[in-house]
Amino acid sequence: MRVIFTSALAALLSATIPGQSAVVDVPLIPANVHWGYYDARVKPIAKIASGGRVRVETMVSGGLQRLRLAGVAESEIPDALKQGEQAVTDRGPGAHPMTGPIYVEGATPGDVLEVRIQAIDYLHNFGVNAFAPGGGVLPDEYPYSALKLIRWPAGAQRVNFAPGVTLPLAPFFGSIGVAPPPLAGRISSRPPGWHGAAILTTRI
């Protein structure tokens, strides 16, 4: 997934945010990925000024096993995803492969950052819907796991989820946040908190 976003310091929200600035590209390579945590000790992989724009390539939450189990052919999985999964072995406690961190110049501990997501594009035109006991919206309702592969043509606005059931194609960013205080150490990417992290959504 490619995400383009703009960040701004909260103190500057009333000011004019520079427009049409050069976009900083953060490609999906192993050196740009850490897996499943927020930690102030992780070194920034890019720097932007307030109002700067970034294009970030990201991985699939939980890794590639779910794609393969759901029926995605090996030839359909982009090489960048495979290389990231093979190279990043220090993982957890969360399930999210994280591209970053990105340093915002002028930001200091205690500031609030505004992030405006301008566009989300796909690295591949398929996704997997999954549920398992102990997680998701209904953690105690189903004592088994299931996966569903969903495909869509390029440019589609909706997907066929089941016979007679279509859903709007509305991607979201997964897990995004700021570095916790250094003494907090490694914090899971999954539970949302004051630092941000995963946002639960029913959208695809």
State residue 204's pLDDT score.
36
Q: Which residues pair with 121 in a beta bridge?
A: 2
Q: Which of 10-14, 102-106, 119-123, 149-153 has the lowest mean pLDDT?
A: 10-14
Task: With a cut of 70, say whether residue 10 has pLDDT above it.
Answer: no
CA atoms of 193 and 136, how far apart (whole Å): 17
Which amino acid makes up residue 51?
Answer: G
Domains and CATH numbers, the chain: 2-124+172-198 (2.60.120)
Instruction: Please report which confidence band the pLDDT of residue 166 belongs to, taking 50, 70 and 90 as the band edges.
Output: very high
pLDDT above 90 coverage of the chain, percent: 48
CA atoms of 98 and 60, how far apart (whole Å): 10
Instruction: Please report which confidence band the pLDDT of residue 151 belongs to, taking 50, 70 and 90 as the band edges.
Output: very high
Kindly report, residue by residue over 86-130, the tens digit of the pLDDT. 999 999 999 899 999 999 998 888 888 888 888 888 889 999 988
State residue 157's pLDDT score.
92
Task: With a cut of 60, say whether residue 16 has pLDDT above it.
Answer: no
State residue 11's pLDDT score.
34
Cβ(28)–Cβ(80) below 8 Å: yes
SS3 113: strand
> How does DSSP assign 129-148, residue by residue?
EEE-TT-SSSTTT-SS-EEE
In degrees, rounded to 5, the angle at the alpha carbon of residue 155 between the alpha carbons of residues 1 and 56 is: 20
Q: What tokens were used for 4?
A: 């383009």
CA atoms of 120 and 124, how far apart (whole Å): 12
State residue 5's pLDDT score.
52
HEC states along 4-68? EEEEEEHHHCCCCCCCCCCEEEECCCHHHEEECEECCCCCCCEEECCCCEEEEECCCCCCCHHHH
Place of tokens 């495909």: 151
Cβ(57)–Cβ(124) below 8 Å: no
Instruction: Please report which confidence band the pLDDT of residue 40 belongs to, taking 50, 70 and 90 as the band edges.
Output: very high
State residue 120's pLDDT score.
87
Instruction: Please report which confidence band the pLDDT of residue 35 belongs to, taking 50, 70 and 90 as the band edges.
Output: very high
Mean pLDDT of 148-169: 93
Q: Return mean pLDDT, the chain.
A: 84
* Close Cβ partners of 118 (under 8 Å, ≥ 6 residues apart): 4, 5, 6, 53
* Residue 162 burial by Cβ neighbours in a 10 Å radius (0-12, 13-18, 19+): exposed
Instruction: Please report which confidence band the pLDDT of residue 2 belongs to, taking 50, 70 and 90 as the band edges.
Output: low
Task: With a cut of 90, say whether residue 200 has pLDDT above it.
Answer: no
Instruction: Please report which confidence band the pLDDT of residue 6 belongs to, taking 50, 70 and 90 as the band edges.
Output: low
